[in-house]
Amino acid sequence: MSTPRPMTAAGLLLAALLTTLAGCSPEPLGRDARQARNGPRAEPAVVPHDVRPLIQPGRKYFGAAVAGAPRSMEPVEAYAGMVGKKPNLIETYASWGDALNEQGVRNAWEYGAMTVVSWEPHGTTLADIADGKSDEYIKKYAAEVAELRLPLAISFADEMNGWWNDWGTRNNEPADYVRAWKHIHGLFTEAGAANVIWTWAPNVIQPALSIDLKAYYPGDGYVDWVGLVGYFTTWEGETFDTLFGPTIDAIRTFTRKPLLLLETASEPTEARTAVVRSLFAGVQSRDDVLGFVWFDHNKRADWRLSSTPVALAEFKRLAADDMFGFDVRKP
């Protein structure tokens, strides 16, 4: 080991100066002090809810469309009491120009369910939407969705392949539908509304056999779920395979996106109990079918389960299977 050399006078003076300067160093600035010195800190960007676990969950969705929900959850609680299980998808309907029902979405979420909005462009045309004539409204809606920060499924202009709606085949071309969908999707992306599950939902193809569904498909980059609208009737089919099979086969020629029976129910006939069994069995048997939403309304026909007690009892028995239903807050 070498012996240190004695410090010179110049070295002693330099050491003293450094010690003095070190003793004058300010304390580290706290958050408030730093903000006072540097100015206001920018607010963090809105972070939307991560919807990816909800796009393909491990169990089946068990949904319902009931009058008054989700603005009020009392009808949902009554439905849950009737069928013995809480729905975890609540479908609601919004006309073009309606504001987002933020409280309704929160109500459903607190209950353990996600809201599905069927967004219906009454009073306009798909071409006008695609050309930007509703941009002010769409941007406001998208901003509200982004600020909400809760997952939300949106089905824009569903049943577009039928003739009975304003946005259907009588008044619109498939290309305008696709342009409108992509335009809306783009405005939501610009608003940071990544908490939307985009649900493309044609009607089952029996009423419109000549309609090419692929012509209406916006593309996998713009769709998360394929939602099917189909009702069990004597003229459309009273089994899962006859009602939904042809449409699923057609859709599988151009996309592998997961399927959801977005809107279904059965006529209150003697066949309803068998229909209920077929519905549950069909959804259970297919890994690519995420679940279903039962349309429990008295509209044009009495689709309510309560109208046929025997079928209701079978529905309740099958709904008890753990495969159906889960808290969407814990997918």
| Contacts of residue 192, Cβ cutoff 8 Å, sequence gap at least 6 | 45, 46, 48, 146
Would residue 43 show up in a list of annotated catalytic residues for this protein?
no
CA-to-CA distance for 261 and 284, rounded, in angstroms? 12
Alpha helices of the chain — where are they, by DSSP H? 9-23, 31-38, 52-55, 74-83, 102-111, 126-130, 135-148, 174-190, 240-251, 272-285, 309-319
- Of 231, 292, 294, 312, nearest to 59 by C-alpha is 292
Would residue 263 show up in a list of annotated catalytic residues for this protein?
yes
Kindly tell me the sign of the dihedral angle through the C-alpha atoms of 237, 238, 244, 245.
negative
**Phi, psi angle pair for 16, to nearest 5°:** -65, -40
Per the residue annotation, which of 91, 263, 267, 314 is the catalytic one? 263
Per the residue annotation, which of 159, 238, 267, 314 is the catalytic one? 159
CA-to-CA distance for 248 and 289, rounded, in angstroms? 10
Active site (catalytic) residues? 159, 263
